[in-house]
Amino acid sequence: MNIGDIPAKWANLDASRPALVDIPAGRRLSFGELEQAVRRLANGLLGLGLAKGDRVAVLAKNGIEYFEVYYACARAGLIAQPLNWRLGVPELARILENGEPS
Protein backbone atom coordinates (compact mmCIF):
# COMPACT_ATOMS: atom_id res chain seq x y z
CA MET A 1 0.00 0.00 0.00
CA ASN A 2 1.23 3.49 -0.83
CA ILE A 3 -0.16 6.95 -0.17
CA GLY A 4 -2.06 6.83 -3.46
CA ASP A 5 -4.16 3.95 -2.10
CA ILE A 6 -5.50 5.90 0.89
CA PRO A 7 -8.54 7.38 -0.93
CA ALA A 8 -9.59 3.92 -2.17
CA LYS A 9 -9.19 2.37 1.28
CA TRP A 10 -11.36 5.01 2.93
CA ALA A 11 -13.88 5.05 0.08
CA ASN A 12 -14.38 1.31 0.64
CA LEU A 13 -14.91 1.85 4.37
CA ASP A 14 -17.20 4.91 4.18
CA ALA A 15 -17.49 6.65 0.80
CA SER A 16 -19.59 9.48 2.20
CA ARG A 17 -17.10 10.41 4.93
CA PRO A 18 -15.55 13.88 4.39
CA ALA A 19 -12.02 13.60 3.02
CA LEU A 20 -11.08 17.20 2.20
CA VAL A 21 -12.56 20.57 3.08
CA ASP A 22 -11.50 23.80 1.36
CA ILE A 23 -13.10 26.51 3.49
CA PRO A 24 -12.04 29.53 1.37
CA ALA A 25 -13.40 27.89 -1.80
CA GLY A 26 -16.46 26.50 -0.02
CA ARG A 27 -15.78 22.96 -1.29
CA ARG A 28 -16.06 19.61 0.44
CA LEU A 29 -15.07 16.27 -1.01
CA SER A 30 -16.03 12.86 0.32
CA PHE A 31 -13.67 9.90 0.14
CA GLY A 32 -15.85 8.44 -2.62
CA GLU A 33 -15.54 11.63 -4.68
CA LEU A 34 -11.81 11.86 -3.96
CA GLU A 35 -11.32 8.25 -5.06
CA GLN A 36 -13.14 8.89 -8.35
CA ALA A 37 -11.01 11.98 -9.05
CA VAL A 38 -7.77 10.19 -8.16
CA ARG A 39 -8.63 7.22 -10.39
CA ARG A 40 -9.48 9.48 -13.35
CA LEU A 41 -6.35 11.61 -12.94
CA ALA A 42 -4.03 8.61 -12.47
CA ASN A 43 -5.41 6.96 -15.61
CA GLY A 44 -5.20 10.25 -17.49
CA LEU A 45 -1.55 10.77 -16.55
CA LEU A 46 -0.67 7.24 -17.65
CA GLY A 47 -2.71 7.78 -20.82
CA LEU A 48 -0.45 10.71 -21.65
CA GLY A 49 2.45 8.27 -21.87
CA LEU A 50 3.95 8.83 -18.44
CA ALA A 51 5.49 5.73 -16.88
CA LYS A 52 6.17 4.55 -13.34
CA GLY A 53 9.02 6.58 -11.85
CA ASP A 54 8.49 9.62 -14.09
CA ARG A 55 8.47 13.01 -12.37
CA VAL A 56 5.44 15.28 -12.68
CA ALA A 57 5.83 18.97 -11.82
CA VAL A 58 2.81 20.23 -9.89
CA LEU A 59 2.19 23.98 -9.87
CA ALA A 60 -1.01 24.63 -7.94
CA LYS A 61 -2.30 26.72 -5.09
CA ASN A 62 -3.22 25.02 -1.84
CA GLY A 63 -6.58 23.39 -2.33
CA ILE A 64 -8.42 20.19 -3.07
CA GLU A 65 -7.00 19.95 -6.59
CA TYR A 66 -3.45 19.75 -5.24
CA PHE A 67 -4.34 16.72 -3.14
CA GLU A 68 -6.15 15.08 -6.04
CA VAL A 69 -3.05 15.39 -8.25
CA TYR A 70 -0.67 14.32 -5.48
CA TYR A 71 -2.67 11.17 -4.70
CA ALA A 72 -3.07 10.44 -8.44
CA CYS A 73 0.67 10.64 -9.02
CA ALA A 74 1.31 8.24 -6.16
CA ARG A 75 -1.41 5.87 -7.41
CA ALA A 76 0.15 5.81 -10.89
CA GLY A 77 3.67 5.29 -9.53
CA LEU A 78 4.73 8.78 -10.55
CA ILE A 79 6.79 11.21 -8.49
CA ALA A 80 5.02 14.49 -7.76
CA GLN A 81 7.45 17.41 -7.84
CA PRO A 82 5.70 20.27 -6.01
CA LEU A 83 6.35 23.81 -7.18
CA ASN A 84 5.59 26.91 -5.13
CA TRP A 85 3.12 29.07 -7.06
CA ARG A 86 4.52 32.18 -5.37
CA LEU A 87 7.95 31.79 -6.97
CA GLY A 88 8.96 33.85 -9.98
CA VAL A 89 9.78 32.48 -13.41
CA PRO A 90 13.58 32.35 -12.86
CA GLU A 91 13.20 30.32 -9.66
CA LEU A 92 10.65 27.97 -11.19
CA ALA A 93 12.86 27.49 -14.25
CA ARG A 94 15.81 26.56 -12.04
CA ILE A 95 13.73 24.04 -10.06
CA LEU A 96 12.36 22.49 -13.26
CA GLU A 97 15.84 22.27 -14.76
CA ASN A 98 17.25 20.55 -11.69
CA GLY A 99 14.23 18.33 -11.06
CA GLU A 100 13.93 17.16 -14.67
CA PRO A 101 10.19 16.41 -14.71
CA SER A 102 8.80 14.39 -17.59
> pLDDT of 73-93, one tens digit each?
999 999 999 999 999 999 999
Q: What pLDDT, on a 0 to 100 scale, did the predictor assign at position 4?
A: 95
Tell me how far CA of residue 23 lies from CA of 28, 64, 67, 72, 76, in angstroms. 8, 10, 15, 22, 28
Q: How confident is the model at residue 45 (pLDDT cuts 50, 70, 90)?
A: very high
Give residue 64's identity as a one-letter amino acid code.
Answer: I
Its pTM stands at 0.91
Domains of the chain (ranges; CATH) run: 3-99 (3.40.50.980)
